[in-house]
Amino acid sequence: MVEWGAFGFGVVLGWFMYFTNRYRKGDVQFSDLTTLVGVIGGGAITALFGEAKTALFGAYGAGLAVGFFAYFIVLLVMVNRSNGVFTVTWFLDGRRKRLADDEEIPGETRPTVAPMAVQLGGPQQTTGAPAVPARSPLAAAVEERDRAITATVDALRELMREIGDTTDDARRSRLREAHGQLTQKLDELVALRLKDVLDSERVRSALAKLSVITADLVAGAQEMKTAADTLATAAKMIDRATKAIGFLGTIFA
Amino acid sequence: MRPASVAITLLLVTGCSPYIYKTEINEFSNGVNELSSAYNAGLKSSGSERQERQRRQWTKKRARIALTEGCVLQASGGPDNVSACALREVGKAPPAPSRIETQAIPAAPIIKALRDYADALAAVTNAEDQQTLEAAQAQFKNSIQDLAKQRDPALPASLGPVADVFSATMTAALNARRYEILRDGVTAANAPVAELGGALGEALDAIRTARANELRLLADDLSAELGPAFGSTDYLSQLNLIEGKVNSLEALRHSEPGQAARDMVKAHEELALALKDDRRQVQAVIASVRAFVDKAKAVREAFAG
Contact B132 A225 (CB under 8 A): yes
Q: Is residue B232 part of a domain?
A: yes
Last residue of a domain, one of A81, A115, A150: A81
Are B226 and B236 contacting, i.e. CB atoms less than 8 angstroms apart?
no
Q: Are residues A148 and A212 in the same domain?
A: no
Beta-bridge partners for B87: B67
Q: Is residue A108 part of a domain?
A: no
Q: Are residues A73 and A7 in the same domain?
A: yes
Q: Is residue B166 part of a domain?
A: yes
Q: Are residues A184 and A229 in the same domain?
A: no
* pLDDT in the model for residue A118: 40
Q: B297 to chain A nearest CA, in Å? A: 23
Q: Which residues of A touch B129 (CB under 8 A)?
A: 221, 224-225, 228
Last residue of a domain, one of A42, A65, A81: A81
**Half-sphere CA count of B107, side-chain side, radius 13 A:** 31
Q: Is residue B83 part of a domain?
A: no
Handedness of CA A181, A182, A183, A185 (dihedral sign): positive
Domain with A148 in it: 137-198
Domain with B154 in it: 20-58+115-304
Q: Are residues A9 and A61 in the same domain?
A: yes
Q: Are residues A211 and A192 in the same domain?
A: no
Beta-bridge partners for B88: B66
Q: Is residue A94 part of a domain?
A: no
Q: Is residue A98 part of a domain?
A: no
Q: Is residue A91 part of a domain?
A: no
Q: Are residues A236 and A221 in the same domain?
A: yes
Asked whether the predicted pLDDT for residue A81 surpasses 70, the reply is: yes
Q: How many structural domains is chain A composed of? A: 3
CB of B305 within 8 Å of a chain A CB? The answer is: no
Q: Which amino acid is at B244?
A: G
Q: Is residue A101 part of a domain?
A: no
Last residue of a domain, one of A81, A96, A114: A81
Q: Is residue A55 part of a domain?
A: yes
Predicted ipTM of the assembly: 0.83
Q: How many structural domains is chain B composed of? A: 1
Q: Is residue B104 part of a domain?
A: no
Residues 20-39 of B with CB under 8 A from A: none
Q: Is residue A188 part of a domain?
A: yes
DSSP B139-187: HHHHHHHHHHHHH-TTHHHHHHHHHHHHHHHHHHHHHHHHHHHHHHHHH
* pLDDT in the model for residue A234: 77
Which of B112, B305, B113 lies closest to B208, judged by CA?
A: B305
Q: A185 to chain B nearest CA, in Å? A: 10
Q: Is residue B79 part of a domain?
A: no
Please classify residue B64 by burial: count the beta carbons closer than 10 Å to its beta carbon, then call 0-12 exposed, 13-18 middle and 19+ buried: exposed
Q: Is residue B202 part of a domain?
A: yes
Tens-level pLDDT at each residue, chain B (305 residues): 455 555 555 445 444 556 778 889 999 999 999 999 999 999 999 999 999 999 999 999 999 999 998 888 888 777 767 788 899 999 998 888 999 999 999 999 999 999 999 999 998 887 666 677 777 777 777 777 777 776 677 766 777 777 777 777 877 888 888 888 999 999 999 999 999 999 999 999 999 999 999 999 999 999 998 989 999 999 999 999 999 999 999 999 999 999 999 999 999 999 999 888 766 668 888 999 999 999 999 999 999 98
